[in-house]
Amino acid sequence: MPRAEHDVSRKDISDNALKVLYRLHNAGYQAYLVGGCVRDLLLGLHPKDFDVATDAEPEQIKALFRNCRLIGRRFRLAHIVFGRDVIEVATFRGHHDSEEQGASDKLSRRSDEGLLLRDNVFGSIEEDAERRDFTANAMYYNIADFSITDFANGMQSLKERKLHLIGDPETRYREDPVRMLRAVRFAAKLDMQISSEAGDIIPRLAPLLANIPPARLFEEVLKLFLAGRAEQTFDLLQEYGLFGQLFPMLQPMLKVADSKENLFVRQVLINTDDRINNDQRVTPAFIYAAMLWYPMEQRFDELMAESGLSPHDAFNMAINDVLQAQQKRIMIPKRFSMPIRDIWVLQQRLPKRFGRRAFQLLDHPKFRAGYDFLLLRASVEGGELEELGKWWTDFQDASGDERTSMLAQLKGSTKGKGRRRPRKRKPQQ
């Protein structure tokens, strides 16, 4: 499609992406915008990321850009770094049948399940297009003449509002099971349907996600739930049997549509969408804390019934057990696992608000996240949680004298309810 036949303009492309494209082009290499950014521009959306494809190999790209770093073993990529903005540059991928092309193990390798462990065989732009996942992602914007080449009827896919996979679905999903998550993400983000040939096979192949490194799944889950369409994404993950592969401890609790677990997760995702769509900050720790709260609570109840531990010790052990189990499926970095712990611990501390404790809790660095989490629990569970949430809301808005009065009333309301009995010590062996 020459420039006159499409609406993609250079003014809609980031300056840093244009710098990369022009430098590659001026050095004698082919340079294209490719994939989701071209698709989104054609749909009138504003892409967050701009990816570039070229016939220059990684080392040649690095020689052109001082701000370049090469990453990845499985896929060798060049990242051109402009402060916080990163332009990803990939060399055209080729076909990699090692028997036909004599590719070495360093360039191309598959697992027994068909998963691509190495994919560093380079080829032509036509081969690269065949290696793309969905037809809507196989469109290339050429900086040389501003034309767009549509290799796989991607424009037709956009008109139909339907996602079509390139190639045999089972082979493509086995090559990279994350493509099943990408199908769901694109369908939710673009308000498109997954075609029957691409979607019907997903429930059967969903267990292949167990072969994906937990660190990679962490990044994929962020893309799923932080794109402003988290609730629709959740519904599609459930429809295609993928959610239980990501959160196996929570999935059994979601079988009843109006269960507190289901209502809570859904409310958290609705709130997440509202915040993202209003340009407010969202932390992944809050989402993971929500997904794992009821499994942690269930584990806490089990330990209290079976172990004879104190509530404090049982609670901390339940936190450790659930986070360790989840890390086997999705690796949660420490910078997020620590805030998850804080949010959960605050759920135990917020009811204990007598005297100086109330002021100490207000000064806790994660108070706001813990308080928001409490309000969401209260909106689903009601009862004492609702009263507790209202008290903390009023306490934050109150003046100094009003806070003192609220604490005095709280102390008076608990008088005469009996003293706390000391715990019996276990006899020494």
d(CA 26, CA 22): 6
What is the pLDDT averaged over residues 6-22? 95
φ and ψ at residue 145, rounded to 5 degrees: -135, 10
Instruction: Tell me what the pLDDT averaged over the chain comes to.
Output: 90
Beta strands 51-54 and 31-34 are antiparallel
For residue 416, pLDDT beyond 50: no
Q: How far apart are the first and last CA of the chain?
A: 84
Please check whether residue 203 lies inside any domain of the structure: no
User: How many C-beta atoms lie closer than 10 Å to residue 369's C-beta?
Assistant: 19
Please check whether residue 251 lies inside any domain of the structure: no
Catalytic: which of 133, 150, 176, 273? 133
> Given pLDDT bands bounded at 50, 70 and 90, which one contains residue 426?
low
Higher pLDDT: 257 or 19? It is 19
For residue 424, pLDDT beyond 60: no
Residue 150: C-alpha distances to residues 22, 94, 129, 133, 308 (Å): 21, 18, 9, 14, 66
Q: How many domains does the chain have?
A: 1
Q: Which of 177, 156, 178, 153 is nearest to 166 (CA)?
A: 153
Q: Which of 319, 377, 380, 321 is nearest to 344 (CA)?
A: 319
Please check whether residue 152 lies inside any domain of the structure: yes
Instruction: For tokens 């060399």, name the residue.
Output: 91
Is 145 marked active-site?
no
> Given pLDDT bands bounded at 50, 70 and 90, which one contains residue 414?
low
For residue 393, pLDDT beyond 90: yes
Q: Which residues pair with 116 in a beta bridge?
A: 110
Contact 175, 115 (CB under 8 A): yes
Question: What are 263-289's pLDDT values in tens digits?
Answer: 999 999 999 999 999 989 899 999 999
Q: Which of 135, 197, 193 is nearest to 162 (CA)?
A: 193
Residue 258 is given by DSSP the state T
Q: 68 is written with which tokens?
A: 């370049």
What is the pLDDT averaged over residues 244-268? 95
Question: What are 53-97's pLDDT values in tens digits?
Answer: 999 999 999 999 999 999 887 678 999 999 999 999 999 998 766
For residue 295, pLDDT beyond 70: yes
Residue 74: C-alpha distances to residues 37, 45, 110, 166, 216 (Å): 23, 30, 10, 21, 12
Domain that holds residue 93: 1-160
Please check whether residue 334 lies inside any domain of the structure: no
Instruction: For tokens 């209290």, name the residue.
Output: 304
What is the pLDDT averaged over residues 331-357? 94
Q: Which residues pair with 282 in a beta bridge?
A: none
Q: 326 is written with which tokens?
A: 């989840």
Please check whether residue 12 lies inside any domain of the structure: yes
Q: 210 is written with which tokens?
A: 């167990």
Q: 98 is written with which tokens?
A: 């090692």
Q: Which of 7, 51, 39 is nearest to 155 (CA)?
A: 39
d(CA 330, CA 404): 45
Contact 8, 23 (CB under 8 A): no
Please check whether residue 42 lies inside any domain of the structure: yes
Please check whether residue 48 lies inside any domain of the structure: yes
Give the pLDDT score at 204.
97
Catalytic: which of 51, 150, 176, 273? 51
Contact 250, 261 (CB under 8 A): yes
Please check whether residue 178 lies inside any domain of the structure: no
Catalytic: which of 12, 49, 235, 321? 49
Q: Which 3 state secondary structure label does DSSP give 249?
A: coil
Give the pLDDT score at 95.
79
Is 133 marked active-site?
yes
DSSP assignment string, 372-399: HHHHHHHHHH-THHHHHHHHHHHHHHS-
Give the pLDDT score at 101.
45
Question: What are 102-154's pLDDT values in tens digits?
Answer: 444 455 455 555 555 555 688 999 999 999 999 999 999 999 999 999 999 99
For residue 10, pLDDT beyond 90: yes
List the CATH number of the domain containing 15: 3.30.460.10
Q: 26 is written with which tokens?
A: 């001026």
Give the pLDDT score at 355.
83
Instruction: For tokens 């989490």, name the residue.
Output: 373
